Each structure stands twice: as C-alpha cells, then as structure tokens.
Structure 1
C-alpha cells in the first residue's frame, strides 16, 4: 500500500463512509454478533475497523493483524482503552496459524474491510478466513474488484498486485468453494465494489 492509499484509508471521509454506509449494509446482511463472540480483522490498519467491530457489531474480543508495523502501533494507540479485549499482531492474512496460532474454527466472525484485493495470493487469504471460522460463523467483507483496479485513476494513484485480480463473481465463487454461503444478497457498486456477508454452515444434525 503506497502513501496515497495509506493517507486515504486514514482520512475522515474514509472513516465516515465506513461508519455511515458500509457498517449499516453489513449489519443488514449479517446482523450483530452473539454475546461473548470472538472476532478477527485482517489488515486492521490504524484500528478504526476493529473499533467498529467492538462498538457496532458487538464483539466481546477481537484479534487484528497487519503487515505494517507502523499501522499496528497506530491501532494500539486507538484501541488502548479496550484493554485485553484487543490483541494486535504483525502478520499475514495468508497464514493465520503462524501469526495468531489460530486453529480451525477459532473465530465467530472474520472482517475484511477492503484488504484482500491487496494480497497477491488472495485465494490463500480467503481459505484462511474460511478455515478459522467456527461453524455458524460469519465472514463480513467489503472488497474492491478488478473492474475498479483497472480504472486509470486507480492505476495512477495506488499500488496493487497486477496479477490474478478478482472480479466480483470470482470472489464470491471462491467463498463458495470453501463452503461459505452468501447470506441474502450482495451489494455491488458499479461493478467496482462488493459488500456482503457469508456464513460457515452448521454441521448437519447427527453428523460427527
């Protein structure tokens, strides 16, 4: 992520959009979390998304990780008042076992506020999100598609992986490939942005 995008994601307009539009959309699709829920945010940046997960989605605890140590420091300052409800680590979303010692089914919810399109091996990140979700857990996502990344403005201002970018349909197909089921509908904005929630099904009755 270059300086231009870092400045953008930490700007008041970005936070307003996240708080006033994206969060209500995701809550409409996936609802609040159950009391006592443990959540994960991948690519937490300065910690504003994690703060929203605690305040608006009702998580009891959240683990959050980012590849940029400077962002982890900023997040630690923002989230200090939550004490041991927050665990911040430097690490990759493609290997949550190494970063967080996260076993299968460790989390009741995973949040992706526009980070997976930054990851060259984005399929590995989706696979990890699905792996660490508990049965009945939910994956809340807001993503930027290849359609947007191919726009001249994006190419001039921002730095993204150029290979294997995903379309909206490819992203949703990858979620389904890992057994995640889309809840309700998905919001698509001009083919550029994708917001929705997918769930890991509960085991069938009598299954071991």
Structure 2
C-alpha cells in the first residue's frame, strides 16, 4: 500500500464512509455478534475498524493484525483504552497460525474492511478466514474488485497486485468454495465494490 492510499484510508471522509454507510449495511445483513464473541480483523491499519467492531458489532474482544508495524503502533495507541479486550500483532492474513497461533474455529467473526484485494495470494487469505471461523461464525467483508482496480485513476494513484485480481462474482464464488454461505444479498456498487456477510455452517447445516 503506497502513501497515497495510506493517507486515504486514514482520512476523515473514509472513516465517515465506513461508520455511516458500510457498518450499517453489514449490520443489516449480518447483525450484531452474540455476547462474549471473539472477533478478528485482518489488515487493521490504525485500528479504526477494530474500534467499530467493538463498539458497533458488540465483540467482547478482538485480535487484529497488519503487515505494517507502524500501523500496529498507531492501532495500539487508538485502542489502548480497551485494555486486554484487544490483541494486536504484525503478521500476514495468509498464515494466521503463524501470526496469531490461531486454531481452527477460533473466532465468532472475521472482518475484512478492504484488505484482501491487496493480497497477492487472496484465495489463501479467504481460506484462512474460513478456517478460523467457528461454526455459525460470520465473515463480514467490504472489498474492491478488479473492475475498480483496472480504472486509470486506481492504476495511477494506488499500488495493487496486478495479476489474478477478483471480480465480485469470483470473490463470492471463492467464499462458497471455502464452505461459507452468503447471507442475504451482496451489495455491489457499480461493479467496483462489494459488501456482504457469509456464515460458516454449523453441523446440522444451519446458521447462527
């Protein structure tokens, strides 16, 4: 992620969009988390999303990781008041066992606020999110598609992997391939962005 996108995602307009549009959409589809829930945010940046997970989604505690140690330092300052409800580490979303010692079925929810499109091995990141979800757990996602990344403005201003970027359909298909069930409908914005929630089935095939 280059300095332009880093500045954008930490800007006030981006935070307003996340708080007043994306979060309400995700809550409408997937709802709040049950009491005592443990959540994970991949690519937490400065910690704004993790704070929303605690405040708006009702997680009891959250683990959050980011590749950039500087972002982890910023997140640690932002989230200091939450004490031991928050654990922050520097690591990759493609290997959550190495980064967090995360076992299978470890979390009631995983949050992806626009990070997987930055990951060259994006399918591995999706597989890891599915692996660590507990049965009945939910994967809340907001993502940017290949359609957006191919726009001249994106190519000129931002730095993203070039090969094997996903369309909205390919991302949803990968969630299903990993055994996740799409809840409700996926919001698709001009083919550029998608927001939605998927659930890991419980043993009897139902959802939480």
Alignment of 1:1-208 (within 5 A): 1-204=1-204
2:204 & 2:169 partners in 1: Cα distance?
A: 27
* 1:101 CA drift (Å): 0.3
Q: C-alpha deviations, 1:147-193, integer Å up to 9, x for none?
A: 00000000000000000000000000000001000000010000000
1:169 & 1:204 partners in 2: Cα distance?
A: 27
1:28 & 1:202 partners in 2: Cα distance?
A: 21
* 1:5 CA drift (Å): 0.0
1:184 & 1:91 partners in 2: Cα distance?
A: 32
* 1:145 CA drift (Å): 0.1
* 1:18 CA drift (Å): 0.0
* 1:79 CA drift (Å): 0.1
Residue segments in structure 1 that go unaligned for 5+ positions in a row: none
1:82 & 1:41 partners in 2: Cα distance?
A: 15
- The alignment's TM-score, normalised by the length of structure 1, stands at 0.98
2:204 & 2:41 partners in 1: Cα distance?
A: 28
* 1:66 CA drift (Å): 0.1
2:175 & 2:57 partners in 1: Cα distance?
A: 22
Give 3-state SS (helix, strand or coil) of 1:185's partner: strand
- Which 4+ residue blocks in structure 1 deviate beyond 3 angstroms? none
2:37 & 2:52 partners in 1: Cα distance?
A: 14
2:51 & 2:70 partners in 1: Cα distance?
A: 18
Equivalenced residue count is: 205
1:38 & 1:168 partners in 2: Cα distance?
A: 28
* 1:204 CA drift (Å): 1.6
* 1:132 CA drift (Å): 0.1
- The alignment's TM-score, normalised by the length of structure 2, stands at 0.98
